Structure 1
Amino acid sequence: MPPESIAIDSEQAPRRSAKQRFIAAARWVLLLLVVAAAVWQFATNWSSVVHTIAALQWHRVVLSFIAVIAGIGFSTLSWQALVDDLGKPIGVGRGAQIFLVGQLGKYLPGSVWAYVLQIELGRRAGLARARVFAGTMFSLAVILVAALIAGALAVPALIRNEPSLSWLPWLYVLLPVALVMLHPKILTALVRIGFRVLRRPQPDHDIRLVVVLRALALALLSYISYGVHLWLLADDFKGLTFDPLLLCIGTMGAAMMAGLVAFFLPSGIGARETVIVAALTGLVGGPQAFAFAAVSRVLFIAADLVTAGGAALLAVVARRRQGDYHGDPGIE
Structure 2
Amino acid sequence: MDAQPVGPAPTGQKRTTARTWAKRLALLVMLALAAVAITRNYQAIADDLERIPPWTIAGAAVFAVLGMVASLQVWRELLSGLGSPLRLRPSAHIFFVSQLGKYVPGSLWSIVAQMEMGREHKVPRRSAAVLGVLALVISGVAGITVAVALMPWVSDDLRHRFWWLVLVLPVLYVLIHPRLLDLVLGRLLRLARREPLPATIGWSSLLKATAWQCLTWLLLGLQVWLIVIGLDGDPTETLAPSIVGYALAYTLGMAAFFLPAGAGVRDAVLVLALAGSMPTSSALVVALVVRCLSTLVDLLLAGVQLVIHRASA
Q: Following superposition of structure 1 onto structure 2, how do residues 13-32 of structure 1 map, counting pairs within 5 Å?
A: 14-32=10-28
Deviations 1:174-211 (A, max 9, x none): 644532342223334455556666554752x5423221
One of 131, 134, 146 as aligned partner of 1:135: 131
CA 1:296/1:146 → structure 2, altered by over 3 Å: closer, same or farther?
same
Which residue of structure 1 lines up, in the alignment, with residue 218 of structure 2?
Answer: 224
Which residue of structure 2 lines up, in the alignment, with residue 85 of structure 1?
Answer: 81
One of 249, 254, 269 as aligned partner of 1:260: 254
Are 1:304 and 2:301 counterparts? no
Conservation of the 8 A alpha-carbon contact between 1:141 and 1:181: no
Deviations 1:35-61 (A, max 9, x none): 110011111111222332222121111
Which residue of structure 2 lines up, in the alignment, with residue 94 of structure 1?
Answer: 90
Which residue of structure 2 lines up, in the alignment, with residue 106 of structure 1?
Answer: 102
Q: Following superposition of structure 1 onto structure 2, how do residues 27-66 of structure 1 map, counting pairs within 5 Å?
A: 27-66=23-62
One of 264, 284, 288 as aligned partner of 1:270: 264
Deviations 1:226-279 (A, max 9, x none): 1101111113324522x4211111101110122111111111111111112112
Are 1:121 and 2:117 counterparts? yes
Work out the CA distance in 2 between the residues paired with 1:239 and 1:162: 19
Once the two structures are aligned, what percentage of the paired residues are identical?
28
Conservation of the 8 A alpha-carbon contact between 1:61 and 1:232: yes
Q: Following superposition of structure 1 onto structure 2, how do residues 123-272 of structure 1 map, counting pairs within 5 Å?
A: 123-152=119-148, 153=150, 160=157, 166=161, 175-190=169-184, 199-200=194-195, 202-203=197-198, 206-236=200-230, 237-238=232-233, 240-241=235-236, 243-272=237-266
Conservation of the 8 A alpha-carbon contact between 1:158 and 1:278: no
Work out the CA distance in 2 between the residues paired with 1:294 and 1:162: 24
Aligned length: 304
Work out the CA distance in 1 between the residues paired with 2:166 and 2:193: 33
Conservation of the 8 A alpha-carbon contact between 2:238 and 2:274: no
> What is the root-mean-square deviation in Å for CA atoms of aligned residues?
2.8
CA 1:88/1:277 → structure 2, altered by over 3 Å: closer, same or farther?
closer
Shift of 1:214: 0.9
SS at match of 2:50: helix
Unaligned runs of 5+ in 2: 1-6
Conservation of the 8 A alpha-carbon contact between 1:53 and 1:61: no
Work out the CA distance in 2 between the residues paired with 1:169 and 1:261: 19
What one-letter code is carried by the residue in structure 2 that aligns with 1:294? Answer: L
Deviations 1:280-326 (A, max 9, x none): 22322122111111111111110111111223334456x66xxxxxx
Deviations 1:86-136 (A, max 9, x none): 234211111112122111111111122121112111123332111111222
SS at match of 1:282: coil
Work out the CA distance in 2 between the residues paired with 1:310 and 1:304: 10
Work out the CA distance in 1 between the residues paired with 2:156 and 2:234: 26
Unaligned runs of 5+ in 1: 1-9, 321-332
